[in-house]
Amino acid sequence: MAIDRRKQIIEAATSSFSLYGYKATTIDQVAKLANVGKGTIYTFFKNKEELFDEIINGLIIEMKAVANEAVSHSDSFYENVHRALYRLLEFRKQHQLTIKLSQEARDIGTPAVVEVMEKLELAILNFIKDKVVLAIKKGEIKECDPEITAFIMMKLYIALIFDWEKKHKPLGKAELSQLFEFYIFKGLST
């Protein structure tokens, strides 16, 4: 046993971050969970934050894969963006790590965690931005600033999923898709 120590450490840390958050996870705990001496962790990672960043980078790669899986070339731009955003936010809702971290960012404001959550949001933003650029080239949508468009799409989606739920009953996937199409694509004007 105990061959790939690096992987063991990452797995132990991921598990502990998911369960207790970043701040409440101690290096001693991770070492114990990984069946590794504490010093060993520091031969692989400069410090606690670098270990954390490594894990988040893995998460971002995972999320990109999830988002790309949701995209189908035979579907329209808006269907693809809707499905990708939906899957991404579903991912966030289902993965203990992202849940715990967004709680910690909101409730405690641990700087390292806030930073990382911004990085995650930026990754999503860039994903959409790329899709927007492509859609403009293909003539699927009007000419527009891809950055603002991606920003608006994400903000709208987050508002509809997270903020709307605070005071109303949650919107289903189909409703969400419809609203997204109605407001962003078709427009309100008669």
Q: Does 134 bind a second copy (CB under 8 A)?
A: no
> By CB under 8 A, which span of 1-9, 49-57, 85-93, 144-152 interacts with a second copy?
144-152
> Under the criterion CB under 7 A, does residue 80 sit at the interface with DNA?
no
Which of 137, 139, 172, 174 is in the footprint of a second copy by CB under 8 A?
Answer: 139
Using CB distances below 5 to 8 A depending on partner kind, what does residue 40 bind out of DNA, a second copy, none? DNA
Which residue do the tokens 């909101």 mark? 106
Contact string 38-77 vs a second copy (x = CB under 8 A): ----------------------------------------
Instruction: Give the total of residues touching a second copy (CB under 8 A).
Output: 26
How far CA 51 is from CA of 9, 27, 47, 57, in Å, comes to 9, 10, 7, 10
Applying CB under 8 A, among 17, 22, 52, 78 the residue interacting with a second copy is 78
* Residues 6 or more apart whose Cβ sits within 8 Å of residue 25: 13, 16, 17
All residues at 6 or more sequence positions from 97 whose CB lies less than 8 Å from its CB, including other chains: 14, 17, 18, 55, 59
Report which of 25, 143, 152, 4 is spatially closest to residue 81, judged by C-alpha positions. 152
45: which residues sit within 8 A by CB, 6+ positions away? 9, 51, 54
**Given the rule CB under 8 A, which residues bind a second copy?**
78, 139-142, 144, 148-149, 151-152, 155-156, 159-160, 163-164, 179, 182-190
**Given the rule CB under 7 A, which residues bind DNA?**
2, 5, 25-28, 31, 35-40, 42-43, 47-49
